[in-house]
Chains A and B, each alone.
Chain A
Amino acid sequence: MPWALVLAMMMRQAATRNAVPPRYPHFDTTSVVTFPFHDSELLQRHQHDAGSAWVTPTARVGDSLPLFIYLHGLNRFRHHRRWMHGSQYDMRTIVGPLALDGRIGPMIVAVPQTTGDSALRDSTIYANFDVAGFVDAIDRAVRARGVRVDRSRVIYSAHSASGCALGNGLFSGIGSSAVQTVLDIDCCMNADFGRVLASAPANQRVIVVYQDAMWERDYAEFTESFRRSSAASTDPSMRVLERIEAHGADAHNDMVALTLRRWLPMLVPPREAFRVNAP
């Protein structure tokens, strides 16, 4: 007779590990849906399909799912499929375990890829990014998987240099009716950025998360400006500024996983409440 409880635990482990490995092999884009999106602007000539999306394995056919869009930072080595291709930093290995451990509900994660010359400078990366068009393109792409985008739950995030130019990248989402939540992950910080982010429409949530262990910026000016401009907001949960104690040689990139593990469970809560009744 098998040790049934341990077998059940192992089956759970095997199921989740198989659905989302702790680490994908390099350049593995298993289960990533790719699709064309402004390829000529975002990619080098020989590349195609700037759009990439991944649906958590916890999604079911017919689901209308929250969407998390992530704009990556500078792409000096012009890697195609950054954050979706089995490197040390992979959205699937950050978001997948959250979903499989029941900490978040099923969702779609999408990354617009950029490898062109504009991706080499913080002033040009994701210039005038077409957020609404990207949401439409994702919705079309994931319908092949039997799911669709819940347009009332779109989280638009950017990391690093993709939040360094007003009108581009992260700031393309400010005021966009296609976006309900703007998530700034350790982007540029100065007084102007603080003011613009905090002055987003009242019904658009803005969350700014940063670290100060590396990459010196105008923290004081940014925070002062953000707080001052947020004062008009009647709901404090709609304007969040948070410093995370990050350490290590690559605290700036580590911020992505730290931020998502902290905020996605709140932004995309699980479908059902915890059922464990521990004594």
Chain B
Amino acid sequence: MHELSFAGMISGRPMRPALRTVWITLIVVVLSAPALWAQHAQRARHSRHVHHGLIARAAVRSDATTHAVAEVAHGVRMRWTHRAGAHVRYLLRSRQTAPDPTGSAHARGTVDVLTNRVEPDGTAVQTVSMEHSMSTGALARPFDASGLDRALHTARARVRVDVLGHVVSEGGGRSGDAARDAIAANYAWLVPTFPDREVPVGGTWTDRRSSRFELGLGMHLTLQAETTYTLRRVLRGANGRSQLVVGTSQRLSVPQGSDVSGMPIQGTGHADGQCILDPADGSVMYAASRGSIDLEMPSAEVLTHRTSVRFDDELRIAAGRP
């Protein structure tokens, strides 16, 4: 007895089970395509409608049961929305590698951000604290020659974050406290900024930042970045809020004037990454960045020392809010 199959009917020959499964799947897909397409189009229309509403700063809840994705055709005006009393914890990890004799270092840490109050213009006054641990290769001495590392664990920085993501240490500038300034500067680098205009999906904007890190014992190092952001997608999360997928491409530099115990240091580098932002929650959900920076240390001892640092960093928002 011959097996009955569509292919078999055509060819008049029996078919192998695996091939038969492929044929059946193909037939099912072809027959159901029109219905699926209609369903997708309806869902996309609904999602687009929801996202337009969200991006117009309205935190509209959706009754959609799926994690639908809608790409916005028109411009998006992005704003950070903060809520007094909100407490966000970020988990950070970093792997850094430099040629011998430095070796590699692994760092893990948390950054806690408490929003103390929100001013009428949307600017948040926040308290930021940081804990971290760093392990280095056998060749390296401990980082904490200066006591800065210890100081970081107890310091709290008060910052102001506006709706575009500009972070300013309260008081406007350097407080004279190395640990507090370092925490504020570090936080400023974690928060992406938005432009004060609409940006379509695929559109870009740029910002520049410069932070001076006092590293103890008279050492200070300025890190500058010109960051080009690309709005890649607008997602709708399970919570119904829109989330932005933003690509980052950075040109990094350590300008002349930085100083490691009297040894001048300068350098250039780059970093590429991506982040997922939840502006309505005032939080970064995820960020990853990978890059390198080449350093030069001209000194009287020899003409110039050269080295480089590669890094691979990741930030995640803690699953359970503290």
Which residues of A, 237-279, contact B by the 8 Å Cβ criterion?
Answer: 270-279
Interface pair A19/B263, CB less than 8 Å apart = yes
Binary interface encoding of chain B residues 255-272 relative to chain A, with 1 for a CB under 8 A from any of its CBs, else 0:
000001111110100010
Q: Which segment, of B17-25, B32-40, B115-123, B291-299, faces chain A?
A: B291-299
Contacts of A167 in B (CB 8 A): none
Which A residue's beta carbon lies closest to that of B261? A102
Interface pair B136/A13, CB less than 8 Å apart = yes
Contact A100 to B301, CB < 8 A, known contacts A21-B101, A279-B151, A279-B177: no
Contact A279 to B309, CB < 8 A, known contacts A58-B263, A99-B261, A103-B217: no
Give A122 to B293 CA distance when docked, in angstroms: 52
Interface pair A1/B287, CB less than 8 Å apart = yes
A59 at interface, CB cutoff 8 A: yes
Q: Which segment, of B77-85, B137-145, B231-239, faces chain A?
A: B137-145
Of the candidates A4, A10, A16, A61, the one whose C-beta lies within 8 Å of that of B211 is A4
Which residues of B, 163-193, contact A by the 8 Å Cβ criterion?
Answer: 176-179, 182-183, 185-186, 189-190, 192
**Which secondary structure dominates where chain A touches chain B?**
loop
Interface pair A277/B139, CB less than 8 Å apart = no
B250 at interface, CB cutoff 8 A: yes
Smallest CB separation, B213 vs chain A (Å): 4
Give A101 to B96 CA distance when docked, in angstroms: 21
B273 at interface, CB cutoff 8 A: yes
B150 at interface, CB cutoff 8 A: yes
Interface pair B177/A19, CB less than 8 Å apart = no
Give A97 to B176 CA distance when docked, in angstroms: 26
Give A3 to B191 CA distance when docked, in angstroms: 11
Smallest CB separation, B217 vs chain A (Å): 3
Contacts of B147 in A (CB 8 A): 276, 278
Contacts of B177 in A (CB 8 A): 277, 279
Chain A residues bordering chain B, tally (CB within 8 A) = 54
A31 at interface, CB cutoff 8 A: yes
Give A5 to B129 CA distance when docked, in angstroms: 13
Interface pair B263/A15, CB less than 8 Å apart = yes
Q: Which segment, of A49-57, A173-181, A184-192, faces chain B?
A: A49-57
Which A residue's beta carbon lies closest to that of B310? A10
Q: Which segment, of B7-15, B51-59, B219-227, faces chain A?
A: B219-227
Interface pair B186/A4, CB less than 8 Å apart = yes
Contacts of B306 in A (CB 8 A): 18
Contact A10 to B223, CB < 8 A, known contacts A1-B289, A3-B94, A5-B182: no
Interface pair A11/B313, CB less than 8 Å apart = no
Task: Find the residue from B145, B179, B211 having the highest chain A CB count within 10 A.
Answer: B145
Contact A9 to B297, CB < 8 A, known contacts A18-B101, A23-B139: no
Interface pair B260/A16, CB less than 8 Å apart = yes
B248 at interface, CB cutoff 8 A: yes
B62 at interface, CB cutoff 8 A: no
A67 at interface, CB cutoff 8 A: no
Contacts of A236 in B (CB 8 A): none
Interface positions of B (Cβ within 8 A of A)? 92, 94, 96, 98-102, 105, 107, 109, 130, 132, 134, 136, 139-141, 143, 145-148, 150-152, 154-155, 176-179, 182-183, 185-186, 189-190, 192, 211, 213-221, 223, 227, 248, 250, 252, 254, 260-265, 267, 271, 273, 275, 287, 289, 291, 293, 295, 297, 299-302, 305-309, 311, 313, 315
- Supply 8 further A-B pairs (C-beta < 8 A) apart from A11-B309, A146-B300, A147-B300: A1-B315, A3-B186, A12-B221, A17-B98, A17-B307, A57-B300, A59-B301, A276-B148
9 contacts between A and B (CB under 8 A): A1-B315, A3-B92, A6-B105, A7-B293, A13-B102, A17-B98, A21-B139, A57-B263, A277-B176
